[in-house]
Structure 1
Amino acid sequence: MKVKMKIALLFLMGLSHLVLAQKNDEAKIEALIKKMTLEEKVGQMAQITLDVVGKGDDVYSSYDPVELDMDALKKALIDYKIGSILNTANNKALTNEHWYEIISGIQKVAMKQTRLKIPVLYGVDEIHGATYTVGATMFPQQIAQGASRNRELVRKGAEITAYETRAGSIPWTFSPVLDLGLDPRFSRMWESFGEDPYLCTQLGVEMINGYEGDNNTVGDPEHIASCLKHFLGYHATISGKDRTPAYIPEDALREYHLPAFKAAIEAGAHTIMINSGIINGVPVHANYDLLTKLLKEELGFKGLVVTDWADIENLQRRDRIAETNKDAVMLAINAGIDMSMIPYQYEPFCNDLVALVKEGKVSMERIDDAVRRVLRVKFALNLFEKPTTHYKDYPKFGSDEFGKAAYDMAAESITLLKNDDNVLPLDKSAKVLVAGPNANSMRTLNGAWTYSWQGDRVPEFASEYNTILEALQNKMGEKNVTFVPGVSYKDGGKYYEDELDQMEEAVKSAADADVIILCLGESTYTEKPGDLNDLYISENQTELAKKLAETGKPIVLVLNEGRPRIISRFEQQMNAIVQSYLPGNHGGDALVDILLGEVNPSGKLPYTYPRYPNATISYIHKPSEEQKKAEGVYNYEADYNPQFKFGHGLSYTTFEYSNLKTDKATYKKGEDIKVSVTVKNTGKVEGKEVVHLFSSDLVASSVTPDVKRLRRFEKINLKPGESKTVDFTLSPEKDLSYFGRDGKKLLEAGAFELMVNDDKVEIDLSE
């Protein structure tokens, strides 16, 4: 008891110290704002790319490796008082030493040669590790982390990413992505945790806590500021294409898209990035209702609101709601934008915003609010006291310990979707034919945002790690593993460009194999380059799968993809299917350990895997999507009929669920609902199981309820024969309410169903 009291006392003392420090920072911020000229304030609201201040032929690209152009840097920081810099599409990974040189050079100008000596805030898309740093630990991408359902590993990965990002002297990451991965057509689905709001909320908060530390102590040199993105509804486009319009009614916006952001703001995240698209006809960067009334006033967000790439400029040149750039700047800043990712031609933004204030079209109050938010982040990061961190202070960078954490995440995320006749695990002595364009590629294991924007530079930096082929050869011996690609990606081509490569040779080689490991999927992509018009996996890969199936040899299909590409044209001919997602540098080793049974798979799908291109319905849908076939009247094949359902994932052992119950049958509003279920490992090997608890509102008065919704999940480990009772607690106000057509939350009395696995229990909620 004394130990607990001492720990609690220390926590309270630390919290009091933090509150006092924040108050002191606020006083310093107000004093600094009073000293600033209008031009200095506007400069703090501008963010430019590294190319602009790097030596190169023009502002749009810098030489490789990047080197600072001191004249350009001084113009930006001294003449225009620019407050923030970020990486660009042209930049590739640098060593920690090189990063220290670059960041130190920038901060020396900012801290010694500018009038007020305000440090620069440098930001990078470190979305699955310190992605722009040579030798950093690359974790599985977020979609795979969603499949792991492991909160602890998600937080640990973010902690390591923060540590290694700071080793490169960078304090700010544009992560996590809290958008719902609802649409498999969308090019950035893999950057999300999946399609479920609760899943995204839970793992998003863990990632923020990992980046920012307990109590959001981002001034600690092992933590960084996080950036929630992309507020709001970015993935919910009508076309499935990046940066295209969405139509989201108020109830859907609040029911599905807002919860993860709300929880992340409550968790103390310091910055937020805005949706590049359009919602209900209004570009989000010009939407006062979303950025000020909802985000800043209703949700109480006190941090920094930053645009995405060139999105203020896009209000004029793409969205056509502003006649001039000046009008676009006025719309965005008045809507609630605090910092503009310009990214190249920063002079028009700065000059136009200064003029707008002088003309009275943007108030000084709005400018001061934006600058206050920028400075708040810089003070929280302790940049005024320590603008750089030194790589020598980070001895664990790229360590085996960190690599093991990345391996563990990959091993727990990889999902076994099918295993007919227990083809898996493989016998180590089996003769294996390995085929497919993803079999011998580190690029496809990692995905984009790895060493460079589109992931095209991965081969330069990841040669020390094992591809799927190399990992198989290491474990099974090169004599037992034959590789004939059959299909390969074109060098330097877009993700959908593949070509035949020894197709007939691959088919002939199958004669000598006991089993075929067929590695299909996608090459790397993100944003607009990842838009596609056909959700089916490519024709060449489909042909390869069909021809290999004709050989009669058992086939293990390994999917290595950022979104579920449709495989229904040949799925039935595959004996086993393993979804590896984008598992990172250690993914090849983790995958092979699963194929050989050294690791028991435990991943669960974080999305619905569609069977057809025109049937991309999420598991969150209305009952009308599940209308049963009327006798002899209609063919209802187009109803909800996925290839694999959300939450699906097999194991090498079996689990039995029993005794699902609640502590009573009827509850009053305000009473907690206690739910328990027993899970037993009825197989012969140890395994991990994810227990999902769903709810279903049987009758709602305002809008049709969803068929079911995920409310809780817990990942447990069970030895053969072991049982465990898993307990959940639900809050009616939080878990059984819904948003009506007016956007207001409703909690109605009535019957609800709670579901775990195939078991159900009904409860009643009274007034």
Structure 2
Amino acid sequence: MQHGLLLIAGLGCGIAHAQKTSEKDVDQKVEALLSKMSIEEKVGQMTQVTIDLILDDNSLDAIDEKKLKEAILNKKVGSILNVKGSAYTMDTWHKIQKRIQEVATKETPNKIPVLYGIDAIHGANYIEGSTLYPHNIGMAASRNPELVRQSAKLTATETRASGIRWNFDPVLGLGRQPLWSRFEETFGEDVHLVTAMGTAAIKGYEEDGLKSPTAVASCMKHYLGYSIPASGKDRTPAYIPEYTLREYLLPPFKSAVDAGTSTVMINSGEINGVPVHASKYLLTDLLRGELGFEGVAVSDWEDVIRLHTRHKVADTPKEAVRLAVEAGLDMSMVPYDYSFYDLLLELVKEGAISESRIDESVRRIIKLKYKLGLFDNPFPEKAALAKVDPKKSQEVALNAARETITLLKNEKSVLPLKKGAKVLVAGPAANNLTSLHSSWSYVWQGNDDRQYPKSTLTIKEGLEAKLGKGNVISAAQRDYNHAANFDAGQLKKDAASVDYIVLCLGEDAYAETPGNIDDLTLDSKQLALASAAMATGKPVILVLVEGRPRVISSIENDIPGILLAYRPSTMGAQAIAEVLTGEYNPNGILPYTYPKHTGDLIKYDHKYTEGIREDEPNTYTNGAYRPQWAFGHGLSYTTFEFSNLKADKATFSAGEKLNLTVTVKNTGKRAGKVTVELYSRDLFASITPNFKRLRKFEKIELAAGASKQVSFTVSPEELAFINAQGKKVTEPGTFEFIVKDQVVSVEYKTGQEN
């Protein structure tokens, strides 16, 4: 046995040595190339332009040779991104990538390949006919990091097969501002949840090694604070105390750096009046100095020039370039012109920016290109194409959609639908594809129905497949905003002959700024349709297809069954139909607090002080967290009982681990999956403690009547918080650990109390 251990240890040392040797070899190659590059070539490497600049003006995918050579030969562009107007076939991608790399590697002095980037954020969403996975907000509801890893790996494989090796994903901002139009791209409101899911995505993208045909460079985004704009509008300012930044926003990025993410994309907005693209503190001191990030930092779309045009911190475009580069930016997503290249070249030649500063960025960019194998073979790889498995993609997408769906309400067990039931399927999302997918789905906005594969089902079609066409009545149209989708008179007429009304409401597709709203309340036309459905006297099942929580408190009380589907994408309609008919037992739980009122946005991890009310003088109650549904809420068609939560010790101290166990029993009549969540509560601390914090979670499956003991291990470091001095500390005192209705208290001692 000892010989086996020595052999394994020896192999481990050998692998580590080989990795260090390989890294050293790459560094030597980078330095050798850097020494030969002109300043023009270096500045070109820092320039990223959109594909429009190399395409024929009258075509969506045909390269204009003159424009291509202007980009690669004259402006020395090092990176290109995006599509023009629609998803491309794999063949089209190959033609585009092949021609770009031919010019870059055969007609330039140093034969430096181009690094192509894309937003493949829930599948290879810019490849025609690809399978798309649920958006992150739904994936977080699954509480299944393995599904995130699997979908990321499949996305990486398909993206790599197209010839693209850089993916602008995952989003690591916390979803704590539900007005924000990119809420659906987040993994929810909790730090631990976002960290776990985001790290799983990075592993899926990169774990096979960047030279592998199943890997792409990941991009943690958007660093930092993008997801909590004060106004709720996209790309607008955030006001973030250092405590909030470090306690809530920084940990997912720290974990991503530790997991080895290759690149970072910068927040388009500003924090406390300073645009992040111009903040040396955030981009250099914190990101590189403190977090230890060594990869490539790229701007978001057009954000360098916006330091001049929008933020007004640079009085000229040239000053905008200087500010961003000196702050620590490596690459500018310009994207529609060569202004960044021209201005940065001027700045270096004038001595306003040193060549050594340029070398820092170019060194990182070139190193990434070496690590991705672009210098070995920059062209689309047959080995990657051979790895694409559409059947596996659909299987994972279906499993993911199933596990995301969250049953919010099931009064009198109205669900599942009774066998042989006749169902009216109504509402704007009933026969619509775009709302199921939303942003980054074949086109940026996801709103072009013509782009979706013909095999993709709507909810109506999904129910027809399960119940039979004769049992489904629907006048719903494909166009979300079609007048027929809001026709209360038609709904009343159709409802006369059915047993149930499945009402599909929520939001149509949107991405970024076009998704800005002023009110979380579901729009009046949809609320009116819900009222009409309730007035028929037939049981109403509400299916919410939305990227953020739209307030439905005015109708919720009279609707017995409510299902939240989020943005389930390609296999979403089938998954919804399976849940409605009882073929699949729902197990998703909320990754955010679902508000009851637009002005009540208190989170589950609110401070004690946020929960104190004084409705009468000198009379205090603790009950201000009163959402429509709480973070972690989600029902099943079976029931689970939690008991016997125990800690292995009554006190623990620095350097020790605390082991907790809880017994979970399926007390219902069918098998089901359930997420076991462990929360902690610090009773007293030098900073006002949170009411509770999620620390661990595990999803298990139990047969009817079966029990399982679930174990969690917690270290003192995992209970730490940022104190008033900005230090991360675990203070002595009593901690409560909570699983559902089970609570156990444990004393933490630092060992210095005596």
Instruction: Report the TM-score range of the alignment, normalised by the length of the smaller protein.
Output: over 0.9
- Provide the rounded CA distance (Å) in 2 between the counterparts of 1:741 and 1:302: 29
Distance 2:428 2:641 in 1: 38
Provide the rounded CA distance (Å) in 1 between the counterparts of 2:88 and 2:26: 33
Paired position in structure 1 for 2:21 = 20
Distance 1:452 1:575 in 2: 36
Q: Distance in 1 between matches of 2:353 and 2:725?
A: 32
1:91/1:452 contact within 8 Å kept: yes
One-letter code of the match for 1:36? Answer: M
Residue 244 of structure 2 corresponds to which residue in structure 1? 252
**TM-aligned CA deviation for residue 644 of structure 1:** 0.5
Size of the aligned set, in residue pairs, is 749
Which residue, 651, 655, 666 being the options, matches 2:651?
666
Alignment TM-score, normalising by the size of structure 1: 0.95
Post-superposition Cα deviations, 1:263-309, rounded to whole Å, max 9, x if no partner, equal 00000000000000010110000000000000011111110000000
Q: Which amino acid in 2 is paired with 1:461?
A: Y
Contact 1:443 1:459 in 2 (8 A): no
1:220-239 → structure 2 map (5 Å cutoff) = 220-239=212-231
Kindly provide the CA deviation profile for residues 119-141 of structure 1, in whole angstroms up to 9, marking residues without a partner as x. Answer: 00000000010010012221111
Alignment of 1:376-525 (within 5 A): 376-390=367-381, 393-395=384-386, 397=388, 399-485=390-476, 489-490=480-481, 501-525=486-510
Q: Deviations over 1:205-254 (max 9, x none)?
A: 1111101124xx11111111000000011111110110111111111101
Q: Which residues in structure 2 correspond to 1:223-622 (within 5 Å)? A: 223-346=215-338, 348-390=339-381, 393-395=384-386, 397=388, 399-485=390-476, 489-490=480-481, 501-622=486-607
> Secondary structure of the residue that 1:258 maps to in structure 2?
helix
- Aligned-residue offset at 1:457: 2.8
1:706 matched to 2:690? The reply is yes
Q: Quick one: structure 1 residues 611 and 499, their matched pair in 2 at CA, closer, same or farther if it must change by over 3 Å?
A: farther
2:434–2:508 CA contact under 8 A, matched in 1: yes
Give the structure 2 partner of residue 96 of structure 1.
Answer: 90
Aligned counterpart for 2:67 among listed residues 72, 90, 95:
72
12-21 or 511-520: which moved more?
Answer: 12-21
Counterparts of 1:636 and 1:319, CA distance in 2: 44
Which structure 2 residues correspond to residues 52-71 of structure 1 after superposition, within 5 A? Answer: 52-56=53-57, 63-64=59-60, 66-71=61-66
What is the distance in 2 between the residues matched to 1:506 and 1:759? 46
Preserved contact between residue 137 and residue 161 of structure 1 (Cα < 8 Å): no
CA contact (8 A) 1:148 1:409 kept: yes
Do the aligned partners of residues 238 and 514 (structure 1) sit closer, same or farther apart at CA in structure 2, a change above 3 Å counting? same
What per-residue deviation string (whole Å, max 9, x for no partner) do you get for residues 569-591 of structure 1?
Answer: 10011111000000011010011
Which of 729, 738, 741 aligns to 2:721? It is 738
**Structure 1 residue ranges without an equivalent (≥5):** 58-62, 492-497
**CA offset at residue 455 of structure 1?**
0.4
CA gap of 1:458–1:265, structure 2 versus 1, over 3 A, is farther
Distance 1:636 1:484 in 2: 50
* 1:19-75 Cα deviation digits (max 9, x unpaired): 322211110001111111111100000000000111005xxxxx23x1111111101
C-alpha deviation, 1:401, in angstroms: 2.1
CA distance in 2, matches of 1:630, 1:340: 53
CA contact (8 A) 1:232 1:275 kept: yes
Cα–Cα, structure 1 residues 429 and 698, in superposed 2: closer, same or farther, change >3 Å?
same
CA distance in 2, matches of 1:466, 1:296: 46
Aligned CA RMSD, in angstroms, stands at 1.9
Alpha carbons 2:46, 2:332 under 8 Å: kept: yes
Name the CA distance, whole Å, in 1 between partners of 2:316 and 2:616.
Answer: 61
| Shift in alpha-carbon separation, 1:759–1:541, aligned structure 2, 3 A | same
Counterpart CA distance in 2 for 1:590 and 1:150 is 16
Match in the other structure for 1:653: 638
Shift of 1:428: 3.0
Give me the whole-angstrom Cα distance separating, in 2, the residues matched to 1:95 and 1:442.
20
Residue 529 of structure 1, CA deviation: 0.4
Residue correspondence of structure 1 range 184-203 to structure 2 within 5 A: 184-203=178-197
Q: For 2:204, which of 185, 206, 210 is the aligned residue? A: 210
Partner amino acid for 1:104? K
Q: Deviations over 1:469-508 (max 9, x none)?
A: 00100110111100033996337xxxxxx78643211112
Does residue 161 of the first structure (1) align with residue 145 of the second (2)? no
Deviation track 1:173-214 (CA, whole Å, cap 9, x = no partner) reads: 000000101111010010011111100111111111101124
2:304 partner SS: helix
Q: 1:686 is matched with which residue? A: 671
CA distance 1:32–1:674, shift in 2 (3 Å):
same
Match of 1:86 in 2: 81
1:724 aligns with 2:708: yes
Does the Cα contact within 8 Å between 1:435 and 1:486 map onto a contact in 2?
A: no
Equivalent position amino acid for 2:80 in 1: I
Q: Confirm or deny: 8 A CA contact 2:269 2:276 kept in the other structure.
A: yes
In 2, the alpha carbon distance for the partners of 1:298 and 1:4 equals 36
The amino acid across from 1:245 in the alignment is: P
1:638, distance to aligned residue in structure 2 (A): 9.6
C-alpha deviation, 1:443, in angstroms: 1.2
AA in 2 matched with 1:341:
M
Which amino acid letter does the alignment assign opposite residue 421 of structure 1? K
Secondary structure of 1:589's partner? helix
- Change in CA separation of 1:653 and 1:31 when aligned onto 2, cut-off 3 Å: same
Q: 1:393 Cα deviation (Å)? A: 4.9
Q: Distance in 2 between matches of 1:500 and 1:589?
A: 21
Separation in structure 2 between the aligned mates of residue 269 and residue 585 of structure 1, nearest angstrom: 27
Q: Distance in 2 between matches of 1:112 and 1:251?
A: 52
Matched residue SS, 2:553 = coil
Letter in 1 for 2:453: A
Alpha carbons 1:141, 1:584 under 8 Å: kept = yes
Find the counterpart in structure 1 of residue 49 from structure 2: 48
Q: Contact conserved, 1:221 with 1:389, CA < 8 A, in 2? A: no
Equivalent pair of 1:100/1:390 in contact (CA under 8 Å) = no
Deviation of 1:653 (Å): 0.5
- Counterparts in 2 of 1:455 and 1:708: CA distance versus 1, 3 Å: same
1:574-628 deviations in Å (ceiling 9; x for gaps): 1110000000110100111111111110101011100001012221211122224
Rounded Cα–Cα distance in structure 2 between residues aligned with 1:487 and 1:110: 44
Counterpart amino acid of residue 727 in structure 1: S
Q: 1:435·1:483 contact (CA, 8 Å) conserved in 2?
A: yes
Check conservation: 2:119, 2:167, Cα contact below 8 A.
yes
Q: Distance in 2 between matches of 1:521 and 1:636?
A: 35
Match of 1:176 in 2: 170
- Following superposition, the deviation at residue 152 of structure 1 comes to 1.2
Matched, 1:763 2:746: yes
Q: 1:603 to 1:429 in 2, by over 3 A?
A: same
**Percent of counterpart pairs with the same letter?**
48
Deviation at 1:764, TM superposition (A): 1.0
Cα–Cα, structure 1 residues 450 and 13, in superposed 2: closer, same or farther, change >3 Å? farther
Letter in 2 for 1:288: K
The letter for the 1-side match of 2:150 is K
